[in-house]
Amino acid sequence: MMTISPINAFSDNYIWLIERGQQAFVVDPGEPDPVLTRLAERGLELAGILITHHHFDHTGAVQVLQEKTGCDTWGPASSPAGIFDHTVTEGDRASVLGESFEVLEVPGHTLDHIAYFCSAQSALFCGDTLFVGGCGRVFEGTTAQMRASLEKLSALPTDTRIYCAHEYTLGNLAFAQMVEPDNVALSTFVAACQDKRARDVPTVPSVLEGELSYNPFLRWSSAAIRQTLIDAGRLRDDSPDGVFSAVREWKNQA
Ligand code: ZN
Ligand code: FE
């Protein structure tokens, strides 16, 4: 059986640990020590590393882990992070402990950003593209690129679990409630997440079906969000890209 669990890193990063038997993969290891500690505690051998994008909080441990374990690495083909053993692009597949992980290109946060989707486990590892209740900042791409990437992820099966790389949920949801105050699915989810955080339990993974109901960065078709933007004098372009850009810009300033 394959299991997926978080390893905490820095102040709010999750490095995802994928285990089957005594073998493991990690996704986006920014720091080596928490990974090495967990591997030792559980008696696991590191077989591979999956990277979603070049930022240091996702790649900082790659070299050390590779040297210490000799594991293989997978990462985006056009990445400033350097050379991986396996460079992957849209539609490529990585074999992860006997399961097939499909690569989706999701530029926007960075231009090299990719996500890994495992249909057998209904699991998506999406780095800093889609967050629980939010999305990554658009650093390198355009907001239109980012929205297209999120639209691609929205089309995955609705039971897909969203393994993103940061615990940003409560801040994201506070913003979501500002742009869509009457969303009942959102207020129900906020209460559940506040309860988890009070007990120091991760809010990640969430489920795509839920994200579609409360995440304002997937809700460019919401009449309520459009109305909030209009009332705030923030909707300059009434199109999906215009709504998404206005929401992203507002969040950047909030
Ligand atoms: Zn990032
Ligand atoms: Fe990050």
246 CA to centre of ligand 1 in angstroms: 21
What length does the chain have?
Answer: 254
pTM: 0.98
Nearest to 116 by CA among 104, 129, 131: 104
Low-confidence ranges of the chain (pLDDT < 70): none
What is the pLDDT, as a whole number, of residue 185?
Answer: 98
Q: Are strands 93-96 and 86-88 parallel, antiparallel or unpaired?
A: unpaired
Residues with CB under 5 A from ligand 2 (ion): 57, 128
CB-CB contact of 48 with 72 (8 Å):
yes
What is the pLDDT, as a whole number, of residue 230?
Answer: 98
CATH assignment of the domain containing 220: 3.60.15.10
Domain count, the chain: 1
Q: What is the dihedral of CA 132, 42, 24, 35, to 10 degrees?
A: 60
Smallest-distance ligand from the CA of 15: 2
Classify the phi-psi angles of 162: left when phi > 0, otherwise alpha if psi is within -120 to 50, otherwise beta: beta
Which residue(s) pair with 76 in the sheet? 88
Interval 119-167: pLDDT, tens: 999 999 999 999 999 999 999 999 999 999 999 999 999 999 999 999 9
Residue 247 amino acid letter = V
Active site residues per annotation: 53, 55, 57-58, 109, 128, 166
Owning domain of residue 232: 3-253
For 109-142, the DSSP string reads SSTT-EEEEETTTTEEEEETSEETTEE---SSS-
For 38-81, the DSSP string reads HHHHHTPEEEEEE-----HHHHTTHHHHHHHH--EEEEETT-TT
